[in-house]
Structure 1
Amino acid sequence: MNPAKKFKGKHLQTKSAQSNRQWQVTDLVQPQFNSKYSTEEFLRAAADAWSLTEKQDKQVQIAETKCLVYKYPFNCCQLRNFVDDDSFLHQLKHELLSLNFHEKSNDLYKFHQSQDLKKVTTAAVSALKKFLYSDFRQWLIQVTGIELNSTVDMSCARYNHTDVLLCHDDELEGRRIAYILYLVDEDWTSADGGNLDLYTVDERKQPDRIVTSLVPVWNSLAFFSVTPTSFHQVSEILAASSNKCRLSVSGWFHGKPFKRPPTYIEPVKYLSKPEDMDEDDFYTWISPAYLDPSTQGDVQSTFSDKSEIQLQEFIQPDKYGQLCEALHSLQASDWITQGPANKRNYECSESTSLVVLNEARKFFHSEAFFLVLSNLTGLKLHRLASTPSSSENESSSDEKPSNGTSKSKKGSSSDIDPCCRLQVSRWQTGCYTMLSDEDAHGSEYALDVWFFLSADHWQLPHGGQVSYIARGEDEELLTICPSNNCLALVYRDQDTMRFVKHINSLSGDLKHFTINGVYYDRPPNRE
């Protein structure tokens, strides 16, 4: 008889034999909840800690256990040594990594997710479901006092290098407690990223600052109450090894939904009217090619077909160089972070200390620029812009209009009232914007303008692309990558939304800048 068949227990094997053996179904060990977490003394202490209202006690450690109850910024608990024998978790991890994972990537996240684990019937996954759905659910009810029903969501997420889940609140009809069972490598540290970061909220109940971070730990489970202010994120994965990933089983326990407060609506942003700019000064900025009627006609034809175009070398090289130098010279105090984090995270500057930056703002706000935009796109953004019916005749005129553009017929522009909102922005590691239904001008037809600066070494894997998608869809309609001295124009309707992809750690110390804004032929929502 083969001794190996008789003795399935611990016997000497070569490393290769151990590796080949992996974790077989016949070796299944049922999950045994850490016995210290089931004593009456612990349950009383945990329930008392959970019910505390004093936020100054940022965390409470339950005596003689590795349980931490975080009170600030909201109730969250981390149970280390979640199960007594982690052999079960090793088999669970093996089964999970054998599943098919699908990449999920949008404005909020980038990671790989398994199918719904409700449909998975492998031994360890089935055992985990049985435990979480019954015994652990009752344990949660006892500790938190939250009445939970039998609905439990469960999936597996695999985060690799540069993956991230940005700030959100998890709140959806019926979700009451979120949980994460960590199956990371045992040597995982905060340097590997993937922390569960918890945000405070400001007076508007919007996310403000990260004040608590939970590092993923093998054989630990974290859970927190889902509320309108339970804002959190999974920080970017910094572990670059292809053999190291942040693997977890996560989901929600459901219960009776509670009333959500009214959604915070951001104030409408200030809109500027076109400004006067000396004609000679304007000419020192714009590349002469874009004042040529023939070039404008070609650009307009392309834009008419695609509703977007990217114009290279848009401003003159000397001005471009001066502007890049000026932007890099601004002090940290000149940049203001734009939030809240569940909508955006980047910086803007309103500094008026640099002459060339003031001139650039004036250029993009100028009457002449509105007129050039009109002739490049065919949109009516200036009273002198040519109309489709008149452009052919006027383009052949011997008269050279101001700024090298074509004049329109009188009487065709009485209904326009052009305006814009513009900002000078800095983009670096950690920056992003998200899709937002509360965008004050998101439902209007508009021309988006993106002018990119100092993007010399910017690469696609860094992130920072401007992505356009149709409302309710995941597929991208258009992606614009940062490119030096490039003016990108995009005409969007009420069903087109945009976001800037999260800039990850691959960008290193690189920074790029944009002068970006939205141009309208009349103020939005005008009666």
Structure 2
Amino acid sequence: MVKRKHESNGTDANVPVKKAAKSQAEVHANFGDKLFDTDVVTKYREDYAQSGPYLHTVVSGLINDSLLRSVRREIIDNVHFTPKETDIYKIHQSGDLANLSGLDPSALKLLPSLLTLRDSLYSAEFRAWVSEVSGAGPLSGKKTDMAVNVYAPGCHLLCHDDVIGTRRVSYILYLTDPDKPWQANWGGALRLYPTEEKTDSDGKKVRVPHYDFTKVIPPAWNQLSFFTVQPGQSFHDVEEVLKRKEGESEDDGGRIRMAISGWFHIPQEGEEGFEPGLEEKLAERSSLQQLQSKNDEFDLPQEQWIDYDEDTNKAEDAEEEEVEFDEKDMDFLIQYMTPQYLTPDTVEELSELFAEESSLQLANFLSKKFSARLRKDIELHDGKTEPATNGWATATPPHKHRYRFKHADRAAADTSSAYDELLNKFLPSLAFRKWLSLATGLTLAKSSILARRFRKSLDYTLATGYNKPEAQLEYCLNVTPSKGWGADEEEEEEEEVKEKNSKKAKAKAKEPAKEDEEDNVGGYELYMAGDDDDEDDDDDDDAHSDHGVNIPPNAASATGAGNRRAAKHKKKAADPAIYQAGNEEDDGILFSNPANWNTLSVVLRDRGVLRFVKYVSESAKGDRWDVIGAVEVIDDDDEDDEEDGADE
């Protein structure tokens, strides 16, 4: 953003400095022809009332074309944009445009058309027009709220409902290249989601958004889209702007989706239409609070716990110690796991490492023979519209997550495919739980196991916290067959380093290529520290984008947040790698897990720790595939205390 004054003028930063009032004719001249004509207003009002999946409309040619072209040129020449990325969006954003009047006079001279546009959009005449068309009620002229957002290829905004504070109407005014019409196949569309009313266990009516959108509004020059902000109903997203593919025309202006977006707010105190207490009521219904709440009754998937009591009882009947890892367990696991991970020395080293770091990341976890079968199975479905395997469903609601999933089923009769054998036989086995207990040094109980597939250009999970008082062991077996996710590039760089140090290396080794941020395709999973401060910032209601967890620039390529450690083996050449967790930089990342092939990550998750999988870009070479598990941890100290109490 352009430079602001250093000295305060004593006015509210969100209240424009007094300016000469413009006549109605002057205001109307800044808009398209006949916009304020009675028959035009009536047509838009009728269309708005009949729109779906919720109230909205699209206005073409909203602003005087000459004025808007001047605005676009001023923005390109003078406005600074900051790249921002969180779990919910990736954009380039200007500063707040509401207080343009507070700019230094020399800076303000550079933006006369932008100032005129802002004053026109928040003029009494246009606010009355929006109120009449939408039926949303009176709109504030004091509280202006707008910014310029630029979506370059790869940028996106995931599903949310815009319900924050006093917002009443949300709008987007497109400033795409007027001389190169935007093509629908470039992406960047505004997409609206339908909702379904359901009754929860307490008898309350709640609206749940469907996982798929039903209305697509592509960008267009000088086009305004706006809708009434409705708690639990006005769910929408912005489709990823797609990168140019090989063979497509380069005459696309770089596919820069520029738009001014903002909100009309409810009247503030002292304005006509002000309602005492309305702001507090709206805040209570914010979807952002719902995202952090425990109200997950209609969420999919729901955890399905596998209880091992039956296996334990059988072991006791046979006079066996259930926790003891025996030869029978070894014979079972060696069908699936790399043998080196089953040796006592390696298991002991893993246990020591986990005690120190509370996490592990094990490369080449599955044996060569089984992983080859598994890879063949997955590659048959990777990138296809739907997997052929039965039992898959879509995670919902989309303002929390969207991906394909399948629960583990120990009773499943068909384990003919390697994938079903992995999900229904190997991971739910008591033998694997015993090994996991030894490798972490923890006493483990029931578990929940879920296969996930994150489809490119569709799927993600938004950051959610873990709220149980007891820590939970979580693992993720990453079985993504495609490359280009970040982790494989690091492996290639390490191979180059090895080659450089070998006797056969050339005198001048090739330098590892620097990671191109624009090639970040997402799909990485992060564990991040939650916010210790429970008090919301006073300016939260005025944020120009819905809240998200800020993502550090290096997140896409970090693997396990640390250095590789090799376990002690007899043959180093065949050793699987063990990743050491822990990040020296204080960027909030506790553990990272990029999409990759045949890597097991294990994390002890404490209360408050956030976890999410970043949206998978359309430019990814395939989908992210993994199987995750959540395992209950038994506190041995508590058990000892109970036994001592019983003895007394």
TM-score (norm 2): 0.63
The SS at the match of 1:73 is coil
Q: Does 1:94 align with 2:73?
A: yes
Q: 1:435 aligns with which of 459, 463, 477?
A: 463
CA distance in 1, matches of 2:253, 2:611: 31
CA distance in 1, matches of 2:242, 2:114: 28
* Residue equivalent to 2:394: 337
Q: Does 1:81 align with 2:61?
A: yes
Does the aligned pair in 2 maintain the 1:82–1:219 contact within 8 Å?
yes
* Residue equivalent to 2:321: none
Query: How many positions carry a matched residue from both structures?
Result: 437
Residue 473 of structure 2 aligns to which amino acid in structure 1?
L
Q: Does 1:175 align with 2:167?
A: yes
Q: Does 1:503 align with 2:616?
A: yes
Instruction: Check 1:239–1:321 CA distance in 2 against 1; reply closer, same or farther (3 A cut).
Output: closer
CA distance in 1, matches of 2:126, 2:388: 48
* Residue equivalent to 2:422: 360
Q: Which has the higher contact order (CA 8 A, sep 6+)?
A: 2
The SS at the match of 2:348 is helix
Does the aligned pair in 1 maintain the 2:443–2:634 contact within 8 Å?
no
TM-superposition CA deviations, 1:195-225 (whole Å, max 9, x none): 0000111334222131111110001111100
Q: Does 1:148 align with 2:139?
A: yes
TM-superposition CA deviations, 1:6-35 (whole Å, max 9, x none): xxxxxxxxxxxxxxxxxxxxxxx9871113
Query: Offset at 1:261?
Result: 8.9
CA distance in 1, matches of 2:367, 2:98: 60
Does the aligned pair in 2 maintain the 1:346–1:431 contact within 8 Å?
yes
CA distance in 2, matches of 1:42, 1:76: 16
Residue 264 of structure 2 aligns to which amino acid in structure 1?
F
Q: 2:453 aligns with which of 422, 426, 433?
A: 426
Residues 98-113 of structure 1: pairs in structure 2 closer than 5 A? 98-113=78-93
Does the aligned pair in 2 maintain the 1:77–1:224 contact within 8 Å?
yes
The SS at the match of 2:140 is strand
* Residue equivalent to 2:195: 201
Q: 1:125 aligns with which of 94, 110, 114?
A: 114
Residue 119 of structure 2 aligns to which amino acid in structure 1?
K
The SS at the match of 1:82 is coil
Residue 165 of structure 1 aligns to which amino acid in structure 2?
L
Q: 2:233 aligns with which of 225, 229, 232?
A: 229
CA distance in 1, matches of 2:600, 2:86: 24
The SS at the match of 1:253 is strand
Higher strand share: 1
Does the aligned pair in 2 maintain the 1:160–1:242 contact within 8 Å?
no
Instruction: Check 1:426–1:239 CA distance in 2 against 1; reply closer, same or farther (3 A cut).
Output: closer
Does the aligned pair in 2 maintain the 1:336–1:347 contact within 8 Å?
yes
Structure 1, gaps ≥5 residues long: 1-28, 53-70, 382-417
Q: Does 1:467 align with 2:471?
A: no
TM-superposition CA deviations, 1:257-293 (whole Å, max 9, x none): 4553995423652211237596222221222222222
Q: Does 1:72 align with 2:52?
A: yes
* Residue equivalent to 1:212: 215
Q: 1:320 aligns with which of 363, 371, 376?
A: 371
The SS at the match of 2:352 is helix
* Residue equivalent to 2:297: 266
Does the aligned pair in 1 maintain the 2:360–2:603 contact within 8 Å?
yes
Does the aligned pair in 1 maintain the 2:304–2:449 contact within 8 Å?
no
Residue 287 of structure 1 aligns to which amino acid in structure 2?
T
CA distance in 1, matches of 2:426, 2:605: 23
Instruction: Check 1:522–1:168 CA distance in 2 against 1; reply closer, same or farther (3 A cut).
Output: farther
CA distance in 1, matches of 2:218, 2:56: 13
Does the aligned pair in 1 maintain the 2:81–2:94 contact within 8 Å?
yes
Does the aligned pair in 2 maintain the 1:164–1:194 contact within 8 Å?
yes
Residue 219 of structure 1 aligns to which amino acid in structure 2?
N
Query: Offset at 1:301?
Result: 2.8
TM-score (norm 1): 0.77
Residue 238 of structure 2 aligns to which amino acid in structure 1?
V
Query: Offset at 1:307?
Result: 2.4
The SS at the match of 1:180 is strand
TM-superposition CA deviations, 1:133-160 (whole Å, max 9, x none): 1132222122223221232210111101
Query: Offset at 1:246?
Result: 0.6
Query: Offset at 1:94?
Result: 2.2
Residue 105 of structure 1 aligns to which amino acid in structure 2?
E
Q: Which moved more, 1:298-307 or 1:164-173?
A: 298-307
Does the aligned pair in 1 maintain the 2:134–2:227 contact within 8 Å?
no
Query: Offset at 1:522?
Result: 5.0
Query: Offset at 1:242?
Result: 7.3
Query: Offset at 1:444?
Result: 5.0
Identity %: 28
CA distance in 2, matches of 1:443, 1:132: 49
Does the aligned pair in 2 maintain the 1:338–1:347 contact within 8 Å?
yes
The SS at the match of 1:38 is coil
Q: 1:291 aligns with which of 330, 342, 352?
A: 342
Does the aligned pair in 1 maintain the 2:128–2:138 contact within 8 Å?
no
Query: Offset at 1:326?
Result: 3.1
Does the aligned pair in 2 maintain the 1:428–1:507 contact within 8 Å?
no
CA distance in 2, matches of 1:47, 1:511: 43
* Residue equivalent to 1:407: none
Query: Offset at 1:443?
Result: 6.3
Q: 1:518 aligns with which of 618, 621, 630?
A: 630
Q: 2:265 aligns with which of 232, 254, 259?
A: 254
Does the aligned pair in 1 maintain the 2:165–2:286 contact within 8 Å?
no
Residues 397-408 of structure 1: pairs in structure 2 closer than 5 A? none
CA distance in 1, matches of 2:126, 2:258: 21
Residues 448-487 of structure 1: pairs in structure 2 closer than 5 A? 448-460=474-486, 461-472=520-531, 474=550, 475-477=587-589, 478-487=591-600
The SS at the match of 1:147 is coil
